Structure 1
Amino acid sequence: MPDVRLSSPQGKWILVTTVLGSSMALLDSTVVNVALPRIGQDLGADLGALQWTVNAYMVTLAGLILLGGALGDRFGRRKVFVVGVLWFAAASLLCGIAPDAGVLIAARALQGVGGALLTPGSLALIQASIHPDDRGRAVGLWSGFGGIGAAVGPFLGGWLVDGPGWRWVFLLNVPLALLCAPIALRHVPESSGVKAEGRFDVLGAALGAIALGLVTYALIEAEGDPVPAVASAVAGLAAAVAFVLVEKRRPAPMMPPAIFASRQFSAVNGVTLCVYAAFGGFFFLAALQLQVVVGWSALAAGTALLPTTALMLLLSALSGELGDRIGPRIPLTVGPLLCAAGMLLMTRVGPDASYATEVLPALLVLGLGMVTLVAPLTATVLASVDTARAGLASGINNAAARAAGLVAVAALPLLAGMGPEAYRMPDVFDAAFRRAMVLCAGVLVVGSVLAFTTVRRPAPDCRHPECRTHGSVAVPPLEPETAPGRERGG
């Protein structure tokens, strides 16, 4: 049984390690969007290259994150976490010195591999090391510091872009890794959850990542030559079908189809797809809108987005408690509708927009919607399956959220009519942004209707404290605790 007390020096070092590791991936997911206009300007990149700057990372991360958790269970969570941290740092260094968009995109894909190794291990190290009596407080602190990191991210990213330059958005990860890895090796005990038997579902992970990558390519390149785009779409769908068939037949699949026998689990993942698709599209385009159309600096644009994360940080615990009392159906119905209203209010944000009367009201309504839905969504995912599968369930939900975001970043500019040079033409981008916000609002309404018609109150007493203290909308938190009988890709 884990026996490290949080109040002990070792317990504090474990918390520092996990916060540093998760902050690397979290900061990267929040600061890059703010840097995109300057990246495009410096590297001569079109809108498609900017989409790939975001999505190359998300493709490998979403496709491999379940496998990363299984590797930690098998070979040691600390070992895989440290490898992930160092891998992420090396890829970040390559991003920071990239001479052109092609190298940057390739480095971002490598970053996603590192993220898939370190992200599951962050919370798993707390679960495996901290005494059960202190675990709830440890997870609350971990999530709270993560929320602070998410809040600081856009501001820090804007300051770096306007100051030392966009390359420091990536280079900042190197000193963080050089601090995190030695602390982990010195102070964090090694742990593993399963015996080294059976095979990893590497084929399933590869097919999943290939399917996401090919579909993303088809969407981003659709406005160019239609032949490779159509061929990529067909190949991506074929890879997706192959992924489903492989998962059905393998003895230890990465994503066991049987888990979707829970109607509640399937329904909540459907809501997750809608919600995080809209969030992914919004945060990608909003950072561009505020700089390209409104004319703000990167720092001003990053600072402008702080209210959404600040509300998440301050009110998520209350939202989790409310979800406990009234059940998840109402929060998961009302939350997306509030988010949709916030995105429709963003259509008022145009050239020379006022922050106080146009930007801030939209972000406050959007933030309240996020607060309303995110903690109950996480809690419902974990409560919709038996305890032995809670880690797998949250991992699948995490992957679904990331996949939804990357598909939205690929598809939304196409659906809104943004050409490759749109972000260099404020009037064109402004008109397309308004159409995109309407599309995002529509997806959120679909998610709300799905929640109202399918989500029911789960069994009481969810025993996962991060449900109550989820302070970031970047992704749902992973809960990779291993229990007897759990099925994982190992």
Structure 2
Amino acid sequence: MRARSSAAARSGAFVAVAVALFCVQLDFFALNLALPGIAAELGVTVSAAQWTLSSYMLAIGCFFIIGGRVGDVFGRRGTLLAGTALFTAGSVGCALAPGLGPLVLARIAQGVGAAFVFPVAVAVITNAFPERTRAKALGAVFGVANIGTALGPFVGGGFTEGPGWRWIFWLMAPLSLLSLLTALVYVPDSRDASASRELDLLGCALIVCSLAALTLAVERGDSWGWHSARVLLLFAGAVVAGGLFLVRERLARHPLVDLRLFRNVPYVLVTGMGSLSNMGYGVTVFLATLYLQGVRGLSPLLAGAVFLAPALLVALSGPLGVRLSRHMPPTAVMALAGACAGTGMYALTLVSAWWLYVPVFAWCGLGLGLGWTFSSVATQQTVAPARAGEAAGVLLTFLVTLGAIALAGAAAGISAMTPRRSPEEAYDAILRLGGVAVLATAVAVVAVRLALRRSGRRRA
């Protein structure tokens, strides 16, 4: 059921959601360049400091589906408020953390809060705005959020070299508090009126166990060894818990995820292309960071400055996707994004001169950003508004989990290739493989879309 809201309430909801997603995106992309500074200040190795990223990925990946469904069932306003409050408290905890242990715990709190905020935020906009302006509002929200993506590496590198990494979190704390207070005043409530106010707790436990085991295995596989007993047991646990989750969802009276969602072919196409775009974005940013600092010898601040060009186009990709969707079906926009992203990733391996590297990197950022940003808008165009939170949660779970797997695969690939090849050659090989995979998927999306059109589904 979509809440009836005034213009003031819609504007307030927009501000609350946009600021919240800005903070989540900034937090997600700022900390990579700060790891050496964190390790030095806390007296730990960089490998140990990596847990500040891994713990966040674990928390956010495990709770996306739960956060989206809690909002649909119990109300999106309360869920958004709870998630934003937890994220704010986690930010303050990170800024004050005296050691690695408290920092990791605060990062987990941030991750759980973000996992409740993100899918519910999308659903809040979907239900607060009328259909004629909904896509425009979502595009603008992701435009603001992607400014956080754009500033993330620059803020992380700049604060690490300047006043210190803790200021990353001191920046987010008042912003997320502003989002919380705005949401408290303006965000109208909405929920799935057809859903019983019951949550599949067993399903929640199974999906958390499965995703936690899978994410931990891929995050730690390279350092623990891919054939080690710990990693193999984690993979086995993920498969078993995941299988039990699917069985549970088929039998439950009020499932956490309605598996009929995956009979919606446009939704599956959008989710697949969006997930691959996010995988490509994460890998490209990771490899570019290694290339700029390890091969080019740039400082964290200068490396962050190079990221401004592609990140600016990522920020613009939200509004661009909405404009394109007025003239093209969602799956066509996703296929176009894949074509831009795949060519950009491959072209990055062919250039080295700065005058060409930066614009190609920007083109790559546009395609990848459009792919994973517009996927959140497109899912809202292919599912009923009552299930908006659930659809967003499932999409975001795929984005984050597969993104973590892609990063782990890239790190493992570099480790395997560098004894025989230079680091730059290893980076290029991975980028070429990713570019071809993204392009091939875009072609597959076009083929399926044409088949759907021939069957009579015009807006597929």
Aligning the two structures, in what range does the TM-score lie when normalised by the shorter sequence?
0.7 to 0.9
Summarize the Cα distance change of 1:435–1:40 in structure 2 as closer, same or farther, 3 Å threshold.
farther
Question: What's the CA shift for 1:369?
Answer: 2.5
Between the aligned partners of 1:195 and 1:418, the Cα distance in structure 2 is 52
Aligned letter for 2:63? Answer: L
- Give RMSD over aligned pairs: 3.5
User: TM-score scaled to structure 2, two decimals?
Assistant: 0.83
Greater CA drift, 225-234 or 97-106 = 97-106
SS of residue in 2 equivalent to 1:199: coil
- Contact kept, 8 Å, 2:120 with 2:389, in 1: the verdict is no
Question: 1:433-479: CA deviations, max 9, x gaps?
Answer: 334323422432442343244334675579xxxxxxxxxxxxxxxxx
Deviation at 1:366, TM superposition (A): 0.5
* CA shift for structure 1 position 256: 1.8
- The answer to whether the aligner puts 1:355 opposite 2:363 as a matched pair is no
Letter in 1 for 2:177: L
Aligned equivalent of 1:5: 6
Residue 38 (structure 1) aligns with: 37
Q: How far apart in 1 are the matches of 2:132 and 2:340?
A: 37
**Equivalent position of 2:184 in the other structure:** 185
User: Is 1:444 the counterpart of 2:438 in the alignment?
Assistant: yes
Q: Within 1, Cα distance between the matches of 2:269 and 2:138?
A: 27
1:55 shift after superposition: 3.4
Q: Does 1:88 align with 2:87?
A: yes
- Indicate the residue corresponding to 2:411 in structure 1: 413
Pair 1:289-2:288 in alignment: no
- For the 8 Å contact 2:270–2:375, the answer to whether it is kept is yes
Q: Tell me the SS of whatever aligns to 1:438.
A: helix
Summarize the Cα distance change of 1:273–1:87 in structure 2 as closer, same or farther, 3 Å threshold. Answer: same
8 Å Cα contact 2:61-2:400 kept in structure 1: yes
Name the CA shift for 1:222/1:260 in 2 (closer, same or farther; >3 Å). same
Does the aligned pair in 2 maintain the 1:55–1:409 contact within 8 Å? Answer: no
**Deviation of residue 104 (structure 1)?**
3.4
2:173 corresponds to which residue?
174
The answer to whether the Cα contact below 8 Å between 1:341 and 1:366 also exists between their aligned partners in 2 is yes
Unaligned runs of 5+ in 2: none
Distance 1:330 1:124 in 2: 23
**1:21-59 alpha-carbon deviations (Å, 9 max, x no partner):** 222212112222332343345456666546543332222
Select 1:343's aligned residue among 345, 350, 353. Answer: 345
> Counterparts of 1:182-331 in structure 2 under 5 Å?
182-194=181-193, 197-219=196-218, 220-224=220-224, 226-314=228-316, 316-322=318-324, 325=327, 327=329, 331=333
Give the distance between the partners of 1:327 and 1:78, measured in 2 at CA. Answer: 30
- Which deviates further from its counterpart, 288-297 or 320-329? 320-329
- What residue is the counterpart of 1:105 in the other structure? 104
Match of 2:145 in 1: 146
Give 1:323 deviation, angstroms.
Answer: 5.1
Residue identity (%) = 28
- Counterpart residue number, 2:159: 160
> Residues 115 and 377 (structure 1 numbering): CA distance in 2 closer, same or farther, change over 3 Å?
closer
Deviation readout 1:355-402 (Å, 9 max, x if unpaired):
3233x0331330342366457645654454456545533332222112
In the aligned structure 1, how far is the partner of 2:422 from the partner of 2:36? 15
Q: Distance in 1 between matches of 2:99 and 2:429?
A: 31
CA contact (8 A) 1:56 1:105 kept: yes
Shift in CA distance, 449/106, structure 1 to aligned 2, threshold 3 Å: farther
Question: Taking structure 1 as reference, are residues 23 and 445 closer, same or farther at Cα in structure 2, changes over 3 Å only?
Answer: same
Among 428, 431, 439, the residue aligned to 1:434: 428
SS at 1:308 equivalent: helix
Q: Secondary structure at the match of 2:224?
A: coil
8 Å CA contact 1:37, 1:291 repeated in 2? no
Whole-Å separation in 2 of the counterparts to 1:115 and 1:257: 24
1:396 corresponds to: 394
Once the two structures are TM-superposed, the CA of residue 194 in structure 1 deviates from its matched residue by 3.6
In structure 2, the CA distance between the partners of 1:158 and 1:78, relative to structure 1 (3 Å rule), is same
Distance in 2 between the 1:282 and 1:165 partners?
A: 26
Distance in 2 between residues matched to 1:369 and 1:130, nearest whole Å: 27
Answer whether contact 1:56 1:108 (CA < 8 A) is retained: yes
* Structure-2 residue corresponding to 1:454: 448
Residues 308-327 of structure 1, C-alpha deviation per residue, up to 9 Å, x if partnerless? Answer: 23224445545544455454
Does the Cα contact within 8 Å between 1:59 and 1:209 map onto a contact in 2? no
**Partners in 2 of 1:338 and 1:418 — Cα distance?**
29
Q: 1:246-288: per-residue Cα shift (whole Å, max 9, x none)?
A: 2222122222222212334334333333222222222233234
Q: Identify the residue that residue 56 of structure 1 maps to in structure 2.
A: 55
Which residue type is aligned with residue 58 of structure 2?
V
Larger displacement relative to structure 2 (36-45 or 239-248): 36-45
Shift of 1:346: 3.4
Distance 1:84 1:386, change over 3 A: closer
Q: Is the 8 A contact 2:13 2:187 kept in 1?
A: yes
TM-score, length-normalised on structure 1?
Answer: 0.79
Aligned residues: 451
8 Å CA contact 1:247, 1:257 repeated in 2: yes
Shift of 1:95: 2.6
CA contact (8 A) 2:274 2:371 kept: no
Other structure's SS at 1:309 match: helix
Question: Quick check: 2:19–2:175 contact (8 Å CA) kept in 1?
Answer: yes
Structure 1, unaligned stretches of length 5 or more? 463-490
Change beyond 3 A, Cα 1:121–1:291: same
- Distance verdict in 2 for CA 1:338–1:145, change over 3 Å: closer
Output the amino acid matched with 1:26: Q
Change beyond 3 A, Cα 1:272–1:177: closer
One-letter amino acid of the counterpart of residue 5, structure 1: S
Cα 1:391–1:87 change in 2 (3 A) is: closer
Is residue 69 from structure 1 mapped to residue 63 from structure 2 by the alignment?
Answer: no
Higher helix share: 2
2: distance between equivalents of 1:30 and 1:267?
26
* 3-state SS of paired residue (2:65): helix
| TM-superposed deviation, 1:201 | 2.2
Deviations 1:107-158 (A, max 9, x none): 3222111112222332444444456676565445433322333333333333
Question: Per the alignment, do residues 269 and 190 of structure 1 end up closer, same or farther by CA in structure 2, a change over 3 Å counting?
Answer: closer
1:154-178 deviations in whole A, cap 9, x for unaligned? 3333322221111222232222233
